[in-house]
Amino acid sequence: MENLRTDVVVVGLGAFGSAALWRLAARGINVIGIERQAIAHPFGSSHGSTRLFRVACMEHPGLTPIARKSLALWTELGERTGETYVRQTGSLNVGGPNSRPVKGARQAAAEAGAPTTDLTHDELHERFPQYELDPGDVAVWDPGAGICYAEPTVRAHVAEAEHLGATVYPNTMVTAIDLGPNEVTVRTPTVDIIADQVVVATGAWLSKLVPGVPLSPRRTPLFWFQPKDPASNAFRLGNFPSFIWEFGDGRGLWGHGSDEDFLVKVGLDGAERDRGVDPDELDRYIHPRKDITELSHAISRAFPDLDPEPVKLMPCMVTDSPDGQFLVGRYDERLVIAGGDSGHGFKHCAGIGELLAQLTTKETPYTDVSFVNPLRF
Ligand SMILES: Cc1cc2nc3c(=O)[nH]c(=O)nc-3n(C[C@H](O)[C@H](O)[C@H](O)COP(=O)(O)OP(=O)(O)OC[C@H]3O[C@@H](n4cnc5c(N)ncnc54)[C@H](O)[C@@H]3O)c2cc1C
């Protein structure tokens, strides 16, 4: 067995790990990234074309600085690569005045200084007639929000890290991590890597490499739809920006329109099924009755001009933490982890990559990370 030595190993190069690799390489640190699959593969949580980007994050006001850091880093990277990683077309948080999207966005606005605008029911209806609103529905407009691009971003993080000197091993599975007093050994079938620190960001597989981490992967397919009238512009991104909408029963829809391929992405929130899955045994088939009926029904009710039959779908996974918040931080003297994306991590991944680099090198983090401390449970 060959042995290698480096400063830091990053295990798992999805959204979080690829960003950590980039931000560590940007500091001139000797870093090796290991990914079990190809880069930007469809078997984890970071595939498909887009994700919602929000600044007034309903999940926690502490996320606003992390989203802003992602935006700043991606803007800087885009200036170098000529690519766009975020499109800021704004987004709507819709629901009753006490719904989670509306209350949460207002709280982020108040506590984190994210600029937002309240829309009354009538203003919302006038500006966005695609929505079949309930009488009490209002909205909070988040102007800095929009969409971010998933697979191209993961590829760009890894390419930039390699450009800055990182070594990348795709298609290589880490089989064990042995933490010692003076070093950590990261084992693969072909090579053992000895390092000062390891960052583990293996998504739905995190608790397989770091036992005891309280995470629960959930099967969550991605769906795309088309307008009933193919000539309609009502669901182009500019007219149908990203949204999160909570209904009176606590369920809800999220999604966004599109300019590039005319596919409208919509997903259903609040499903109780398919929790606690084994990511190695994920059911990758789509079952029309189980997967589509409820979503199609919600779409027919909410957006009558959208054809409720999906035109494209893909299996995917969310990894839930007990409080719906990420686990990002130091877990051991030689181990930093990032996971528990809870379905809202992509927009934060570059900002989390920067935090992972800061925590690994024991710099002071650019923002408060106590709410994502992995030892909080
Ligand atoms: C349907 C859906 C919609 C979503 N919508 C949004 C949204 O609108 N906005 C948003 O911000 N977020 C959204 N998310 C969440 C976002 O996609 C995730 O937060 C993010 O992709 C999580 O990235 P990750 O790095 O934790 O996991 P992953 O991308 O899965 O990365 C983990 C990597 O580790 C690798 N790995 C695992 N085990 C090993 C091993 N032993 N050795 C080596 N490598 C290993 C895996 O192959 C994988 O590549 C959504 C998620 C889903 C499923």
Which residues make up the CATH 3.50.50.60 domain(s) of the chain? Answer: 2-48+151-214+322-372
Calpha distance 247→215 (Å, rounded):
27
334-359 per-position pLDDT tens digit = 999 999 999 999 999 999 999 999 99
* Shortest-distance Cα residue to atom 5 of ligand 1: 51
Indicate if ligand 1 lies below 6 Å from the C-beta of 46.
Answer: yes
Helices (H) and strands (E) in the chain, counts: 8, 23
Indicate if ligand 1 lies below 6 Å from the C-beta of 51.
Answer: yes
Q: How far is the CA of 204 from the centre of ligand 1 (A)?
A: 7
Residue range 2-48+151-214+322-372 in CATH 3.50.50.60: yes
252-297 per-position pLDDT tens digit = 999 999 987 779 999 998 777 899 999 999 999 988 888 899 999 9
Greatest Cα pair distance, the chain, in angstroms, is: 68
Identify the pLDDT of residue 259: 87
Identify the pLDDT of residue 371: 98
Q: How far is the CA of 195 from the centre of ligand 1 (A)?
A: 25
Residue 53 near residue 79 (C-beta atoms within 8 A): no
Identify the pLDDT of residue 262: 74
Per-residue pLDDT of the chain (377 residues; tens, 9 = 90+): 789 999 999 999 999 999 999 999 999 999 999 999 999 999 999 999 999 999 999 999 999 999 999 999 999 999 999 999 999 999 999 999 999 999 999 999 999 999 999 999 999 999 999 999 999 999 999 999 999 999 999 999 999 999 999 999 999 999 999 999 999 999 999 999 999 999 999 999 999 999 999 999 999 999 999 999 988 999 999 999 999 999 999 999 999 999 877 799 999 987 778 999 999 999 999 888 888 999 999 999 999 999 999 999 999 999 999 999 999 999 999 999 999 999 999 999 999 999 999 999 999 999 999 999 999 99
Identify the pLDDT of residue 350: 98
Q: Which atom of ligand 1 has the smallest separation from the CA of 50?
A: 8
The domain at 88-146+217-314 falls in which architecture? 2-Layer Sandwich (3.30)
| Two structure tokens written together for 72 | 């700043």
Q: Which atom of ligand 1 has the smallest separation from the CA of 318?
A: 53
Of 45, 49, 286, 313, the residue with max ligand 1 atoms within 8 A of its CB, to mutate for a pocket test, comes to: 45
Of 23, 41, 46, the residue with max ligand 1 atoms within 8 A of its CB, to mutate for a pocket test, comes to: 46
For the range 115-124, what are the long-range contacts, defined as Cβ-Cβ under 8 Å and sequence gap of 24 or more? 115/143, 115/144, 116/56, 116/140, 116/141, 116/142, 116/143, 117/141, 117/143, 119/92, 124/92, 124/94
- Count CA atoms closer than 13 A to 57's CA, side-chain side: 23
Helices (H), 129-249: 150-163, 206-209
